């Protein structure tokens, strides 16, 4: 029955290693194919950056189905995929999917269970008459390839250069939002497409909010300022946090807290190597902060995996059960937050290597005084 859609094959490919891994994970969980619906996994598997497409990974091939708006883009970006054009009602996405499923005798189709709305799921189920199985694909992007690491290093270089720049231009009297804009212009100038998430610029009392997104608050002369931001470069995220003091006259308790967070961060970072439980990395940071009397003021996890998404597997917190492996990229970012006073967080991105780790972000971590 290939005739049904072979005239709609705009270009043919061979499966890439990422799709082979995807089908392997699906097979292990009991599915013979994977319907990929998330933008991030579609990009990861095929390279497609458009907003509308359907990706199907089978044991024989990887398919991307697009309409006329995206056909040229798909042919240019998806070298490893069979690119199918859905251009009329007969050759609708659902009909094309059904045809592939019939041709390859697929009985159980897997889908990303954390990426489909109930409504979308109901639609697929009513149109495609096979058994559906929810999959956990966290493992898919866990280990970065050399190619991905090179891109992520560049994303990290961009935030390093940007934070270095911001320290030379930030002044009391600026609003946090103004600093946000300066950061944005700089990362764009350096080649990034966008921020990885809404930038946190939390000064003075706002530093007590771990996720204090830049506001119209004016940065005061003696504030501590926490900046947490990331750049998306070639589809991959970086994530960097630095806290600094606007002047020597900044609060003494915050200076003391800075030293504690720095010790927690560097100690946790030094412990990162293959075979170590991620919760152990969290414990190292948490124990140092707790021993200093601030355990109640550090309530978030110590870090997270990083890649196509700003937060992905593994998690580095008290409950996580994962183990660090060579090729993972994770953040290490303990912090202390005191209501009505302020806060400190220090964050780096690290690559787990064969016998330890290397920092992708290399910005200095000694407490800096702007003036």
Q: Where along the sequence are the contacts to Mn ion (CB under 5 A)?
A: 239, 331
Cα 92 from Cα 86, distance rounded (Å): 5
Q: How many CB atoms lie within 10 A of CB 238?
A: 30
Pick between residue 62 and residue 331 the one whose CB is nearest to Mn ion.
Answer: 331
Pick between residue 239 and residue 282 the one whose CB is nearest to Mn ion.
Answer: 239
Pick between residue 86 and residue 199 the one whose CB is nearest to Mn ion.
Answer: 199
Pick between residue 47 and residue 301 the one whose CB is nearest to Mn ion.
Answer: 301
Cα 335 from Cα 300, distance rounded (Å): 8
Residue 304 beta carbon to Mn ion: minimum distance, rounded to whole angstroms: 6
Pick between residue 80 and residue 239 the one whose CB is nearest to Mn ion.
Answer: 239
In the sheet that holds 357-359, the strands lie side by side as 312-316, 303-305, 329-332, 348-352, 357-359
Pick between residue 211 and residue 249 the one whose CB is nearest to Mn ion.
Answer: 211
Residue 269 beta carbon to Mn ion: minimum distance, rounded to whole angstroms: 14
Closest C-alpha among 310, 170, 185 to residue 240: 310
Pick between residue 116 and residue 332 the one whose CB is nearest to Mn ion.
Answer: 332
Residue 189 beta carbon to Mn ion: minimum distance, rounded to whole angstroms: 23
Residue 303 beta carbon to Mn ion: minimum distance, rounded to whole angstroms: 7
Q: Euclidean distance between the first and final Cα of the chain, in Å? A: 73
Closest C-alpha among 203, 176, 202, 207 to residue 342: 207
**Which residues neighbour 76 within 8 Å (Cβ) at sequence distance 6 or greater?**
none
Residue-wise DSSP of 136-174: --GGGGSSPPHHHHHHHHHHHHHHHHHHHHHHHH--TT-
Residue 356 beta carbon to Mn ion: minimum distance, rounded to whole angstroms: 21
Closest residue to bound Mn ion by CB:
239
Residue 262 beta carbon to Mn ion: minimum distance, rounded to whole angstroms: 17
Pick between residue 178 and residue 239 the one whose CB is nearest to Mn ion.
Answer: 239
Residue 251 beta carbon to Mn ion: minimum distance, rounded to whole angstroms: 25
Pick between residue 69 and residue 211 the one whose CB is nearest to Mn ion.
Answer: 211
Residue 138 beta carbon to Mn ion: minimum distance, rounded to whole angstroms: 17
Q: Helix crossing, 146-169 with 176-189: angle to 10°?
A: 140
- Tokens representing 122? 């109901």
Residue 282 beta carbon to Mn ion: minimum distance, rounded to whole angstroms: 14
- Tokens representing 70? 């995206």
Pairing mode, if any, of strands 108-112 and 131-135? parallel
Beta strands in the chain (DSSP E): 9-11, 33-36, 54-58, 62-66, 82-85, 108-112, 131-135, 194-195, 200-203, 224-229, 231-233, 236-237, 240-245, 303-305, 312-316, 329-332, 335-338, 342-345, 348-352, 357-359
Q: How many CB atoms lie within 10 A of CB 197?
A: 17
């Amino acid at each position: 029955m290939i005739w049904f859609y072979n005239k709609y094959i705009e270009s043919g490919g061979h499966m890439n290693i990422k799709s082979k891994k995807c089908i392997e994970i699906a097979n292990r969980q009991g599915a013979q194919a994977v319907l990929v619906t998330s933008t991030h996994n579609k990009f990861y598997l095929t390279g497609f950056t458009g907003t509308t497409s359907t990706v199907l990974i089978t044991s024989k091939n990887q398919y991307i189905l697009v309409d006329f708006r995206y056909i040229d883009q798909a042919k240019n970006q998806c070298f490893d995929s069979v690119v199918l054009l859905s251009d009329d009602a007969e050759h609708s996405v659902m009909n094309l999917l059904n045809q592939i499923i019939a041709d390859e005798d697929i009985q159980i189709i897997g889908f990303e269970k954390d990426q489909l709305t109930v409504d979308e799921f109901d639609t697929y189920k009513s149109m495609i008459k096979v058994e559906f199985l929810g999959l956990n694909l966290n493992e898919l992007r866990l280990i970065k390839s050399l190619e991905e690491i090179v891109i992520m290093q560049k994303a990290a270089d961009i935030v390093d250069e940007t934070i270095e720049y911001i320290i030379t231009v930030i002044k009391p009297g600026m609003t946090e939002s103004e600093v946000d804009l300066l950061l944005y212009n700089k990362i764009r100038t350096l080649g990034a497409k966008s921020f990885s998430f809404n930038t946190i610029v939390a000064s003075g009392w706002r530093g007590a909010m771990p996720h204090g997104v830049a506001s119209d608050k004016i940065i005061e002369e003696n504030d501590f300022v926490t900046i947490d931001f990331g750049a998306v470069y070639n589809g991959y995220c970086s994530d960097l946090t630095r806290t600094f003091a606007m002047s020597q006259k900044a609060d003494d308790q915050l200076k003391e807290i800075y030293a504690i967070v720095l010790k927690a961060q560097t100690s946790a970072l030094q412990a990162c190597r293959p075979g170590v439980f991620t919760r152990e990395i969290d414990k190292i940071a948490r124990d140092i902060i707790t021993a200093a009397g601030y355990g109640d003021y550090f309530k978030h996890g110590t870090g997270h995996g990083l890649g196509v998404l700003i937060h992905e597997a593994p998690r580095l917190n008290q409950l996580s059960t994962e183990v660090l492996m060579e090729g993972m990229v994770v953040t290490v970012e303990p912090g202390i937050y005191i209501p009505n006073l302020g806060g400190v967080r220090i964050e780096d991105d690290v690559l787990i290597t064969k016998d330890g780790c290397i920092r992708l972000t290399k910005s200095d971590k000694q407490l800096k005084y702007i003036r």
